Chain A
Amino acid sequence: MKNIKISSKNVNVHYGAKQALHSVSLNINENEVTSLIGPSGCGKSTFLRCINRMNDLIDICKVDGSITVDNEEIISDEVDVVSLRSKIGMVFQKPNPFPKSIFDNVAYGPTIHGIAESKTDLEEIVHSSLKRAGLLKEVKDRLHEPGTSLSGGQQQRLCIARAIAVNPDIILMDEPCSALDPIATAIIEELIDELKANYTIVIVTHSMQQAARVSQRTGFFHLGELIETGDTQKIFTNPDNEKTQGYITGRFG
C-alpha cells in the first residue's frame, strides 16, 4: 500500500453563486502519477488549483472542506501559501517561461527561496534541473538566450525544470501537452514517467490516451463531481460507473 500524499475531504468550490466542485474527496498517493479526466468545465483544473491555493488569486472563488498535504491542513487562512507553493510545483497549460534567459528562468525559484548558497551552487541546481527535465543537452550552449526563443515543447520542459529547481514534493500539471505537437508530447510523457520516482504528480488532461499512458490512478470528474476514482487500468477497462463508461467510450464529453 502506497503512502497517501494528498488527501481531500468534502471540498466544495464556489465561483460567486455558482458551485464548481461538489464535495470532492480524493486521495493521491506518493510517487505516483494521478490523472484527472473529464469533459471541459467539469472542475478538474479547479480541483488542481486548490492543491497549491492558486484559486486564491480569483477574488470570487471560495473553497471549503479539507485538503491535507503530508497530513497538514492547507485550506486555512493560517497556511503560508508562499512556503506551500515552494513544496508544490506547477506546470501550466500554455508554456509560460519568464521573459528572461533560460538560466534565469530556472534560477528564479532557488534565488527567491534562498536555496542556493553560492553562485556555483546555483549553477549546479540549474544544470541538474535542466538535466532532469531532459533539456540540458539542447540548451547547454545557449543558457543566456531568452527562454522564449525555445520551441513550445522545449518551453514546457523549461517550465518543468523551473518547477523542480526548488525541489518540490509534488508537481501539478494542468494540461501540460495541450499546446504541443505529438512528438513534444511524447517527450514530456516520457519525462513524467521518469519524474514519478522522485515526485508525486497530479496531471489534468483532456486526452484519455495520455491518462492511460502516464498515470497509475485516474479520477473522473463530471459536472463538478468526482464520479469515480481508481487504478487507471480499471477505469479504462472496467469502470464501475455508467458515466465513466460513457465518457471513456466517447459517448459524451
Chain B
Amino acid sequence: MSNQYSHEKIIQLRKKRSAADRRFKTYGLIATLMGMAILFFLLFTIFSKGYSSFQKSVIELEVSYDQETLKITSDSTYEEQVKAKFFRVKKNAIAKALPDLSKKDIKLIKKMFSINVDKEIKEYFLNNPNILNTTQKIFVTAHSDVDQLLKGNARRNIEEKKRKLNDRQLEFFDEFVSSGRLKTKFNNFFFKNADSRHPELAGIAGSFVGSLFTLMTVFLLAFPIGIGASIYLEEFAPKNKFTELIEVNIANLAAVPSIVFGLLGLGILLNVFGFPRSTPLVGGTVLALMTLPTIIIACRASLKAVPPSIKEGALAMGASKMQAVFHHQVPLALPGTLTGTIIGLAQALGETAPLIMIGMIAFIPNIPTGFTEPSAALPVQIYLWVESSERGFQEKTAAAIMMILIFLFLMNALAVFLRSKFERKW
C-alpha cells in the first residue's frame, strides 16, 4: 500500500504546483499590464500636452498696401520691393485692427501680435506683387499669450496682475473671437523654424537637423572603428594579458557616465585640439566615443555567435583568414552588429549631458547647414524649452519629445528591417 500512499502525495503536491503556475502567470500578467499602463499614460500625457503645438493662432488683419506708405511704385524692382516700408503698413493695419482704438489701446493691441507680422505682410506682398494699392485681408500670427489663451492653456479668470493679457486686451480678444477673426491653423513654423525667444515662432527644425548631423558624425566615426576593432579583437588579436585588459576596459567604458565623455570633449577636443564649440562635429565625436563600446560589444557578440563550423569549412577550403572572416563571419554577424549600432545611435540621440558640456546648449536661432556650424540637438532643445518660463514653451517641450520619440521609433524600425533583411537561416 505504500505505492498508493506516495501517489496520493504526488497528486496533492501537484495541486500546489499547478497553483504556483497559475500564480506566476497572474504576476506576469499584472506586470505586463502595469508596464503598458505606465507607457500609455506617458504617451498620453506627452501627446495631450504637445499636440496643440502643431496649431498656431492667427488674427485677420486688413492690410492696405498703398504705394505712398510703402514708398515704392509699380515699376519698382524686386530689390526695392524687399526694402519697402512694410513696418509702416503693419502699424497702420494694427491701429485699425478694431474700430475706435485709442492711442493706449493701440499699444496694447500691438502686443497681441507676433513680431513676425512685418515679415508675413512682406512675404504676402512679394508673392503677389500686383496687389499694390489694394487692401488685403491676411491672417497673421498672433502673440504666444493670445495663442495660449485661445488654446485654453492659459486661464483668464484669475487676477489681472497674474495674467499676461490685461482686461482691455481680453476685450479685444473676445471681439476677435466673436467676429471669427481669431482662429487656429496648422503651425508650419514649428517644423521649419529653428529656436526663437518667441514661443509662437520657435521651431524644431534647427535642433532636428543638428541631431541629424550629430548622429551622422557618430555613425561615420563609431561604425567603422567599432567594426574594425571588434573583428581584430575577435579574430586576429593574440589572446594574452594585454588583449584581456583591453576587453575588460571596453566593458568598463560602456558603463562610464556620459557626462564624463562630455568633460573629455570639453577638455581635449575643445581646449587642446581647438574644435569649433557647439557644433555637431564635436557633439558627434564625443557621442561616438560613448557609443563605441556598445557597438564593439554587440559586434563581438554576434561574431562569437557565428557557428565555428562555418569558419572551419571556409579555412579547410583554403580560404585565407581574412577571406574566412569577411566572406562568412562578417555577413552572418551583420544583423546583430547593425542592431547594436542602431541601439547605440538611439542612445546617442537621447544624450543631453555631454552636449551641454561641449556647448551645444547655446541659443542657436539658425538651422545648421554643416558639421562645423553651431547647432542645437533635440534633447538639448527639450532641456532649453522646459527651462523657459514662458508658458508657450510648455507645449513645445512636449511636442519636441514627440519628435524625438518618432525619431527613435523610426530608427528602431530601421533596425528591425535591416535585421530581417540580412538575417540568413541555416
Contact = CB atoms under 8 A, between A and B. Distances in A.
Interface string B147-164: 000000000000000000
Given A99-B424, A148-B425, A113 B309 contact: no
B256 interface: no
B243 to A, nearest CB: 12
Contact of A159 (B313, B319, B426): B313
Contacts of A54: 312, 315-316
B303 to A, nearest CB: 15
A57 interface: yes
A92 B312 contact: yes
Contacts of B319: 82, 108, 112
A12 interface: no
A108 B317 contact: yes
A89 B425 CA distance: 25
A85 B317 contact: yes
Contacts of B99: none
B323 A112 contact: yes
Given A92-B309, A92-B312, A99 B425 contact: yes
A162 interface: yes
Contact of B318 (A57, A59, A99, A109): A109
Interface residues of A, number: 27
A162 B332 contact: no
Nearest to B320: A82
A148 B426 contact: yes
Interface string A88-108: 011010101111000000001
Interface string B302-322: 000001011011111111100
A109 B317 CA distance: 6
A98 B316 contact: no
A163 interface: yes
Contacts of B425: 99, 146, 148
A86 interface: yes
A112 B317 contact: yes
B315 A57 contact: yes
B318 A83 contact: yes
B9 interface: no
Q: Among the interface residues B307, B310, B316, which one has the most CB atoms of the partner chain A within 10 A?
A: B316
Contacts, number: 67
Given A108-B317, A112-B319, A163-B317, A96 B309 contact: yes
State the majority secondary structure of interface residues on A.
helix
Nearest to A155: B426
A85 B313 CA distance: 11
A154 interface: no
A208 B30 CA distance: 60
B324 to A, nearest CB: 10
A109 B327 CA distance: 12
A85 B316 contact: yes
A166 interface: yes
Contacts of A244: none
A52 interface: yes
Contact of A90 (B310, B316, B323, B424): B316
Contact of B426 (A86, A112, A146): A146
B262 to A, nearest CB: 41
A158 B328 CA distance: 17
Interface string B396-426: 0000000000000000000000000000111
B310 A85 contact: no
A77 to B, nearest CB: 16
B304 to A, nearest CB: 15
Interface of B: 239, 307, 309-310, 312-320, 323, 327-328, 332, 424-426
30 contacts: A57-B315, A82-B318, A82-B320, A84-B318, A85-B315, A85-B317, A85-B318, A86-B317, A89-B316, A89-B317, A90-B316, A92-B312, A92-B313, A94-B309, A96-B309, A96-B310, A97-B313, A97-B426, A99-B424, A108-B319, A108-B327, A109-B317, A112-B319, A112-B320, A112-B323, A112-B327, A162-B313, A162-B317, A163-B316, A163-B317
Given A92-B312, A109-B318, 5 more contacts: A83-B318, A97-B426, A112-B320, A112-B323, A163-B317
